[in-house]
Amino acid sequence: MPAYRAPKRDIDFVLKELLNSEEHFAGLENAGDMNVELMDAILDSGAKFAEEVVAPLNQVGDEEGCQFDDGKVTTPTGYKEAFHQYAANGWQGLSVPESDGGLGLPGSVGLTLTEMIGSASWAWSMYSGLAGAPISCLVNGGTEEQKQRFLPKLLTGEWAGAMCLTEAHCGSDVGMLRTKAVKNSDGSYTLTGTKIFISGGEQDITDNIVHAILARVEGAPEGNKGISLFIAPKFNVNDDGSLGEFNHITAGNIEKKMGLKGNATCVMNYDGAQAFLLGEENRGLDVMFKLMNTARIGTAVQGLAGAEAAFQGALTYANERLQMRSLTGTKNPDGPADPIIVHPDVRRMLMTQKAFTEGSRALCYWLAQLVDVTKFGSDEAKVKEAEDILGLLTPVAKGFCTETGVEVTNLGMQVFGGHGYIQEHGMEQIVRDTRISTVYEGTTGIQALDLIGRKVMGSGGELLRVFTKKIHKFCAGHVDSENMVPFTEVLSGLNKQWGEITMHVGGKAMEDAEEVGSASVDFLMFSGYVTFAYLWAQMADVAQQKIAEGNDDGFYKAKLATAEFYFKRLLPRAQAHAIGAQAGADTVMQLNADEFAF
């Protein structure tokens, strides 16, 4: 397995040249002392940590996995030490408000760490990542007393956390959950129930684990309207902050999974655990919704992180592996064969990887900036626009960056040929680890329903118009630039088509509610291809400017060539999705359930 090297040049390009971080930070208010120099410093130490501390843990984590014995979970060698090193860097509280004990920096900075550390080892990164979830729950919904009790040690990394939603009979349909909360006389609640798929629900890394749990208060309404959010520590916390008694929160088992084996996925039993309500009774999903955009963008980053790791591995191998001669003449006369990067089809795979990876980076980082604007922006119109675009593009990013991420990781294996299937090279692990990203935090199908149903149709098309206007403006602003026309002409056509497809599906949905679901994933994928086209057109624009300014170190040439590749060889797929989205519900609804197989 080639060593992970943080793609600092491309991260720099996206943050500074595409997204103009300097201007971005200048437009934020009360976002700590954020500036580009501080961002660079965080990036540098994050890159070093990812490369030197986390990357070496990835393969060993997969091989050793987590062990379970009578309620105890043992994590892989080195995981604990790296976690505490991470926390010691202060990164657990990077985006937590200063008033709550954090650094109060905009989340877009933390997202670059999520990418780099995630490429190095997503399984490891989940222990710190999931600790972030109860922290956010407390920040968004906790009382001062709750914050004081739990936040400080979560921020130092003395404790970690877990997010507890899923039950065996309900995943996407969270409204069916059964975990029961009974109110006690002291205002706390007693929780009883079983949750599954709880990442880091139990581990041997921290002294305490703070669980954020969705449960139903006795007598609450059925469905989503009766769900409350609670916080419950594995060990009770005394008033002086010391650990008290065991709180009856036990891991019943850990799952054997396809990948992410270094991360413990626990069955958690709450056998009369004392828990504290966050926010109001029956309004638990309100607090959850506040985390949803960032959690989904964070999962989109898993697609990006896996893609980057797979691209790096494949590129290194393609340059080293000697196999057959180039059809246009020997390129490596001193060797027994040419490196396989001379072969056009190997290059097609690498260019596909590069186009999706760098496109994902541009999208995820841009959305993270928009989250910054919604939190720290002072210009009301900009905040509104950021909210609208985030609403629209968060499910697109989650769905599209993970679906293409899975494709890119598989291409990485494919470049390795048979050697990719062997564990020692690490390529098949990236495929296995990344595969879950299209499933958890809402499957691609759930993202697609959120996009077309809630966001597009639900806003009467308004959210889509906000973005298509932006694209239109970009295209219109480049009509005089001969070099940009090949990009803007295509983009502009797709932009128009996006509205037309929406009208078409919307019209049909008035007659048949199944039309929305039938169109949904194709609509999401079409949206993803157009969104990437917008970003690749912008990247081509920046690259062309840099080249015109005399910059010729190859980076901008490559950026431009990748934009061209994207437009000529990947973007045409959008049309198949356009057709699929408009093919009609009949294509999927005409069979009875018992007619699918005989």
Which positions are annotated as active-site residues? Answer: 441
Burial class (CB in 10 A: 0-12, 13-18, 19+), 242: exposed
Using CB under 8 A as the binding rule, whether residue 555 contacts its own copies is answered as yes
> Residues 157 to 186: which contact its own copies by CB under 8 A?
166, 169-173, 176
Cα–Cα distance for residue pair 189/213, rounded to 1 Å: 12
CB of 269 closer than 8 Å to CB of 201: no
**Cβ closest to its own copies, residue 117 vs residue 448:** 448
* Shortest CB 490 distance to its own copies, Å: 12
Residue among 20, 323, 483, 545 that touches its own copies (CB under 8 A): 323
Judged by CB under 8 A, the stretch of 94-102, 346-354, 463-471, 477-485 that binds its own copies is: 346-354
Which amino acid is residue 47, in one-letter code?
A: A
Judged by CB under 8 A, the stretch of 134-142, 149-157, 186-194, 331-339 that binds its own copies is: 331-339
Cα–Cα distance for residue pair 279/227, rounded to 1 Å: 11
* Shortest CB 381 distance to its own copies, Å: 35
Quote the DSSP letter at residue 551: -
Using CB under 8 A as the binding rule, whether residue 596 contacts its own copies is answered as yes
Instruction: Locate 68 and state its tokens.
Output: 């379970």
Using CB under 8 A as the binding rule, whether residue 516 contacts its own copies is answered as yes
Instruction: Give the alpha-carbon dihedral of 303, 304, 308, 314, to 10 degrees.
Output: 40
**3-state secondary structure string across 50-96:** HHHHHHHHHHHHHHHCCEEECCEEECCCCHHHHHHHHHHCCHHHCCC
CB of 468 closer than 8 Å to CB of 498: yes
> Residues 247 to 266: which contact its own copies by CB under 8 A?
255-259
DSSP per residue over 299-346, as a string?
A: HHHHHHHHHHHHHHHHHHHHHH-B-S--TTS-S-TTSSS-BGGGSHHH
Using CB under 8 A as the binding rule, whether residue 536 contacts its own copies is answered as no
Using CB under 8 A as the binding rule, whether residue 351 contacts its own copies is answered as yes
Cα–Cα distance for residue pair 482/473, rounded to 1 Å: 17
* Shortest CB 454 distance to its own copies, Å: 13
Residue among 187, 219, 336, 550 that touches its own copies (CB under 8 A): 336
> Residues 179 to 218: which contact its own copies by CB under 8 A?
197
Cα–Cα distance for residue pair 503/150, rounded to 1 Å: 49
Q: Residue holding tokens 């934020």?
A: 28
> Residues 384 to 413: which contact its own copies by CB under 8 A?
406, 410, 413
* Shortest CB 53 distance to its own copies, Å: 22
Three-state SS at 396: helix
Residue among 369, 520, 538, 544 that touches its own copies (CB under 8 A): 520
> Residues 426 to 445: which contact its own copies by CB under 8 A?
428, 431-432, 435-436, 438-440, 443-445
**Which of 312, 303, 234 is CA-nearest to residue 268?**
234
Using CB under 8 A as the binding rule, whether residue 75 contacts its own copies is answered as no
**Cβ closest to its own copies, residue 321 vs residue 465:** 321
Cα–Cα distance for residue pair 572/529, rounded to 1 Å: 9
Cα–Cα distance for residue pair 108/34, rounded to 1 Å: 11
Using CB under 8 A as the binding rule, whether residue 60 contacts its own copies is answered as no
Query: How far, rounded to the nearest angstrom, does the alpha carbon of residue 528 sit from its chain's CA centroid?
Result: 15
Cα–Cα distance for residue pair 337/356, rounded to 1 Å: 30
Residue among 123, 205, 307, 449 that touches its own copies (CB under 8 A): 449
**Cβ closest to its own copies, residue 348 vs residue 473:** 348
**Which of 292, 293, 340, 288 is CA-nearest to residue 314?**
340
Cα–Cα distance for residue pair 398/299, rounded to 1 Å: 6
> Residues 10 to 29: which contact its own copies by CB under 8 A?
10
Cα–Cα distance for residue pair 207/235, rounded to 1 Å: 9
CA distances (Å), 586 to each of 331, 450, 501, 552, 590, in order? Answer: 54, 22, 17, 54, 6
Using CB under 8 A as the binding rule, whether residue 3 contacts its own copies is answered as no
Using CB under 8 A as the binding rule, whether residue 345 contacts its own copies is answered as yes
Residue among 187, 219, 418, 550 that touches its own copies (CB under 8 A): 418
> Residues 114 to 143: which contact its own copies by CB under 8 A?
none
* Shortest CB 529 distance to its own copies, Å: 10
- Rg (the chain; Cα; Å): 24
> Residues 565 to 594: which contact its own copies by CB under 8 A?
565, 568-569, 572-573, 575-576, 579-580, 583-585, 587-594
Using CB under 8 A as the binding rule, whether residue 309 contacts its own copies is answered as no
* Shortest CB 82 distance to its own copies, Å: 24
**Cβ closest to its own copies, residue 56 vs residue 584:** 584
Using CB under 8 A as the binding rule, whether residue 448 contacts its own copies is answered as yes
* Shortest CB 125 distance to its own copies, Å: 17
Judged by CB under 8 A, the stretch of 79-87, 299-307, 332-340, 476-484 that binds its own copies is: 332-340
Residue among 26, 41, 88, 422 that touches its own copies (CB under 8 A): 422
Using CB under 8 A as the binding rule, whether residue 339 contacts its own copies is answered as yes
What is the total count of residues that contact its own copies (CB under 8 A)? 106
Using CB under 8 A as the binding rule, whether residue 513 contacts its own copies is answered as yes
